[in-house]
Chain A
Amino acid sequence: MKKLFAILGLALLVLLPFFITSPYYLHLLITIAIFSIVVLGLDIVFGYTGEVSIGHSALFGIGAYTAGTLLFQFGIGFWPSLIAGPLVAAMFGALLALPALQVTGPYLAMVTLAFGTIVQILINEMDWLTNGPLGIKLNTPNFFDWRDYSSFLPFFDMSAKRMKEMQYYYVVAFFLIATIVVINRILASHLGRAFEALRDSPIASDCMGVSVYKHKVIAFVTSAAFAGLAGVLFAYSEQYIAPNNFAFDLSIQFLLAVTMGGRKSRLGPILGAAIVVFLPNLLADINLFRIIAALIAAVAVVAGIFVAIKQPENRRSIIVPVALCLAFFVFSLFLQKITDYKLTVFGLMILFVVYYLPDGIVGFLKQIVTQINPALVKGHAVIDAKGDDAHAWTKVAPATLTADGSLLDGRGILMQFGGLKALDTVDLKIKPGTIHGLIGPNGSGKSTMMNVLTGIYVPTGGEVTFDGRAMAGLKSPEIAARGIARTFQNVQLFDELTLIENVLVGLHHTYHATFFDVAASLPRARREEQAARIRAASILSFVGLDKLANEEARNLPYGKMRLLEIGRALALDPKLLLLDEPAAGLTAPDIKDLVGIIRKIRDHGITVILIEHHMDVVMSICDTVTVLDFGHKIAEGKPAEVQANPRVIEAYLGGSAVAA
C-alpha cells in the first residue's frame, strides 16, 4: 500500500511539469517543494521530539545567504553551495541548540524566536559580507541546453526559459525525494527511535543511555541542515534574496504547515507546505475564500454526522469544531475586504488546527480510514526478528571491585530537599552477583536512593564508587553507559513504541553507525540493526513477551509493562540492575514468574538491587537486605536476621501498614 503511494507520488512529481505550462504555477510548485524540505526537517524537531522552533525561517535564510554570499563574494556557484548551505545552517543550529536544549520547557521556542530576529539584523548589518539590505541577485542555473535536441523532442516548449525552469524543477524534486528518503531512514533507525522515546519518557530515555539532550541536539541540527539545503534551493529559485525574506512570520507558516498537514508523516508536511504556499492566493480573492470556507464547512458537517453516527459518545466533542467551521463560513460571507483581515483568518486557522485538528489533515484522514477499515492504516513497521535464548545475553567485561570486594560502594550519601533530609549519610555496599534487597516503609528514602544512584538526583553529599570508578558529577546517560540499568516505580515505558522498539531503545548502546551511515544506509548500519533486532527478540522471549513484540507498549496490561521494563533494562547489558517495586500490582502467578526471571538474571552474573514491599519476594530471593527508615539505614544483613531485628519491626509497625 505504502509502496503504491510512493510510486504514484513519484510519477506525479515527474509528470507534473508536463501539465503545468504556466511559469507561475511551475514556480509555485518549485516553492512548494522547497518549503516541503524545510517543513519535513522541522517535523523531526516539532513532530518527533516535541520541541518548538520559531527560528526555522532564520536557518532557511542562513542557507539562502550562504549560497548568495558564496556567489556574490567568491563567485562560487550552485553545486558547492548545496553542500555549504546545509553545513553552515547546521553549525548555527548547533550554536542555538547546545545552550537552549539544556533546559526543558519553552526555552527553545523563546531562544529561536530571538535568534530569528538577530539573524535578520546581522544579515542586514554585515553588508561587507551579505550586501546588506540591498540583497543579492542570483540566476537560476541552466544545467544543460536541451535546445540542441529540439528536433528529437518536438512536443515541448523548448524555449531557454522554459527549459531552465523545468530543469530546476527536477533538481528541486530530486532533493525533495532525497530528503524524504534520508528522513525515512533516520526515523527508522536507532536515532529515530531515540527521538520518539525521549518524547514519551525523557527520564527513562536518559536512564537507558539515550541522552535526551544529545538526541534533541542531533534532531535540531539535522533539521537545521535541511532548512539550509532548502534555503540554497530557494535562493536560486527566487533569484533575489534580501534580509526581509526571512522574517518571523515565515517560521510561523512553517509551523502551521507541519501542524496542519500532519505531524510525524511525510505526506503531511508536503500537504502543509502546499497549503501555506497557496495561502496568499486563497486569501487574496474573497470569492475563492468563500468557496473554500464553504467546502471546509461541508467537510466538517459530513465528518461530524459520520462521527455522531459511528461514535455517539464523542458527539459532544465534535459539536464545537463543526460549529466553528460553520461560523467561519458565515464570517467569510460577512467579510468584505479580505486583505485587511487576512492575518485574522491566518490566526484563526492556527487556533483551529492546534485544537481541533492536532494530528493535521493526514491524521484526520487516517482516523476516518481507520473507522472504515483499520487494516488500511499501519501504525508501526512490523519487526519480525526471531530470537533465541543464546542471543539474549552478551558477555560483559568483568567488573572492577573495591578493596573489600564491592561492586558498588556508597559512602555517606546525603540527599537534602530544602530542610528535609531524604537520605541522611547512608552507606551502601553491594557485593557482585547478589540480589540486594532495599526495604523500608513509604517515604523512607528507597526511591531517592535509586534516583541518586542513576544520576536523576545530584546528591548533596557523600560519594559513590561503581565498577572501580567514582560516579561524582555523572549524568544519567553516562551512568547508564557504565552499566547501571533500572526500572521505575511508576512505570516509564515508551508508550507509543512497540514492545520490540522499547527494547531496541535499550540496545541503543550497541549501535556505532553514525548519522551518515544511516542516511546512506551503509552495510554497517544495516548489520547493526539486524543484530540488534535479533537480540531484542531474544530478550522479549526471555521475559515472555515475544508474542506481543509488535504491540504498542501502552496497550499492555500493567503486569506485563513491568516485565517489559525489565527486558528493556537488560538490553543495556548492565552490571547492576535496579528494580524499583517490580512486583507492585502483579497477580500471584505473575509474581512467581517474576521471581524466576530475577533469579535467572542473577545467574547470568548481573547484580540486582531490589526495592520491594512484598516481603515474601524479598525474603525468598535476596542475599542481603538493607532497611531504610526516614532516610537512615537502620539495619542490614541476611533476610532472616533483618526480619528479626527489633528496630525494623518497630519501623514497620510504627510506620504505615504496608508490610506484608
Chain B
Amino acid sequence: MNKWIVGAAAMAALWTGAANAQDVKIGVSGPFTGGSASMGVSMRDGVKLAVDEINKAGGVLGGKKIVLIERDDEAKNELGVQIAQELINKEQVSATVGFINTGVSLASQRFYQEAEIPVINNVSTGTLIAKQFLPPDHKANYIFRTSANDAIQSGMIAQEAITRQGFKKPAILADSTNYGQLGREDLTKALAAMDVKPVAVEKFNIGDTDMTAQVLKAKEAGADVILTYAIGPELAQIANAMAKLGWKVPMIGSWTLSMATFIDTAGANGDGAMMPQVFIQLPTTPKRKAFIEAYQAAYKVDRMPSPVSAAQGYDSIYLLAAAINQAKSAEGKKIREALENLQTKVEGIVTTYDKPFSATDHEAITANIPVFGLVKGGRVVPAHPEDLEGDTALRIKPKS
C-alpha cells in the first residue's frame, strides 16, 4: 500500500517539476495568434511592461521576481480549458491574468474557481464573467475584472445615442460570436429600459466580406443610427457597405470600434464612429504619458494596436502585485482576500484604484470611468473633449 503512495508521489513530483521557490508565477492566457490577436498581444505587452517595471523595482514579497507563464489560447474554448488546467496543476501559478474572448473566459475560469486561484479578466467584457460564482452560491468568487463589462458599455452606448444625441430609430448590427450576441442582448435591454425598440437587428459571421444585405435592411427599416457589437474587420465592412450604398448615419458601438483594424481599413468611411473607452492614447495624466512612452519605446510603435487592452493588462498586474504584497503570500486564497480588501491605492493607467473590489463586487470599472472616443483622421480622440479635461481626466470608481 505504501508503495502506491510513494509511486504516486514520485510520479507527481516528476510531472509537476520543482518550482523555483524564489519566484511568483503568474499565468497569462490570451489569443496571440488569429483574429483577436491584436488585443491579445497588446494585453500581453502591457502585462510584460508592468512585470518588468515591478521586477526592476525589486519584485514582490520583498525581493521575489514575478515570472510570467504565457500561453496562447488561440481564442479557442477547449484550449483555454487545457491551458487553465496546465497553469493550475502543472505550473502552479499564484494567479492568472488575461482572456480576451468571453467564451474562453466562461469555459476556463471555473477551473481557477475550483482550485481557489484568482483570475483577473483584463479584456473580455461579457457581463456574466465576474458573476459566474457569486456568493452565497459559492464560498468565494475568484474571478475579477479590470475591463468595462458589456452592461456598462451597452448602457453608455444607448445613453449616448438616444439621450445625448437624440436618435430615435437605432439598428443593431452584431457579429454571431459569443461577444457580439451577448453584447446585442445587453444593448437591446439597455434600449428597452429607455422604451426604444431597435428597428432592425442583424448579424454576420466573422470573415464575411459583403454586408450589403445587412446594411440594406437597416437602411430600409429607416434607421437613423447604427449600434455595433463586433470586431475590427467586420466593423470596417459595415462602414464600407454604408459608403457603397450612399447612406451615412452615425456608428456608435462597443469599445472594439477603436481597433486598428477598423480605423485603418474603414479609412474615411470610419470617421465619426464613437465607442466607450477607458483609455485613449493621450498623455492626459503623467502616469499615462509615461506608460505611452514606455510602450512606444519597448515595442517600437507609434500608435498602440489596442491601447485599451494594453492599459488594462498593465493595470491588472499592478493590482495583483499590490494584493500579493498585502497578503504577504503567493497563495491564491490569500491573494483573493487581499484583492477584495486592498489597502493601498494603486495608481493605474485607466484610473486610480481605491478599494476597487469587495467580496461581492469584482468589477474594477464602473460606468463613470469610460468616456466616449471618436475616430478622427486615423486616431481615437475624445468625442467630448470636456470629459477628459482638468479634474475629469482621472475618473475614479465611486465609493459604495
Contacts and interface: CB of A to CB of B under 8 A. Distances in A.
A23 B89 contact: yes
Interface residues of B, number: 40
Interface string B76-92: 11110111011011100
Contacts of A127: 181
Interface in B35-64: none
Shortest beta-carbon contacts, A-B, top 8? A24-B89, A133-B178, A24-B85, A240-B107, A339-B72, A133-B181, A22-B89, A19-B11
A340 B77 CA distance: 19
A125 B174 CA distance: 13
B98 interface: no
Interface of A: 18-25, 27-28, 31, 121, 124-125, 127, 132-135, 155, 161, 238-242, 244-245, 247, 280-281, 284, 339-340, 342-343
Interface string B144-178: 00000000000000000000000000000000111
Nearest to B81: A238
B106 interface: yes
Contacts of A23: 85, 89
Interface in B65-119: 70-72, 75-79, 81-83, 85-86, 88-90, 103, 106-107, 110, 114
Among B1, B8, B15, chain A packs the most CB atoms within 10 A around the CB of B8
A245 B15 contact: no
B205 interface: yes
Contacts of A155: 1, 4-5
A629 to B, nearest CB: 62
B147 to A, nearest CB: 19
Contacts of B107: 135, 238, 240, 242
Residue in B5, B9, B76 with the greatest tally of chain A CB atoms within 10 Å: B76
30 contacts: A19-B7, A19-B8, A20-B11, A20-B15, A21-B12, A22-B15, A24-B85, A24-B88, A24-B90, A28-B85, A124-B176, A132-B181, A133-B103, A133-B177, A133-B178, A133-B181, A134-B178, A134-B182, A240-B77, A240-B81, A242-B107, A244-B103, A244-B177, A245-B76, A245-B77, A245-B78, A280-B82, A281-B86, A339-B33, A340-B33
Contacts of B12: 21-22
A268 B34 CA distance: 31
A27 B78 CA distance: 12
A245 B83 CA distance: 14
A511 B336 CA distance: 67
Interface string B3-24: 0110111011001100000000
B32 A339 contact: yes
Nearest to B76: A244
Given A21-B12, A155-B5, A161-B114, A133 B81 contact: no
Given A134-B181, A343-B33, 6 more contacts: A20-B11, A24-B85, A121-B176, A133-B178, A245-B77, A280-B79
Given A22-B90, A242-B107, A284 B72 contact: yes
Given A21-B8, A339-B33, A135 B77 contact: yes
- The B contact surface, by secondary structure, is helix
Given A19-B8, A284-B71, A25 B15 contact: yes
Contacts of A134: 178, 181-182
Interface string B233-247: 000000000000000
A594 B7 CA distance: 69
Nearest to A250: B78
Contacts of B78: 238, 245
Nearest to A22: B89
A564 to B, nearest CB: 50
A340 B74 CA distance: 11
Max chain B C-beta neighbours (<10 A), residue from A121, A132, A244, A281: A244
Contacts of A124: 176
Nearest to B108: A240
A121 B86 contact: no
A395 to B, nearest CB: 60
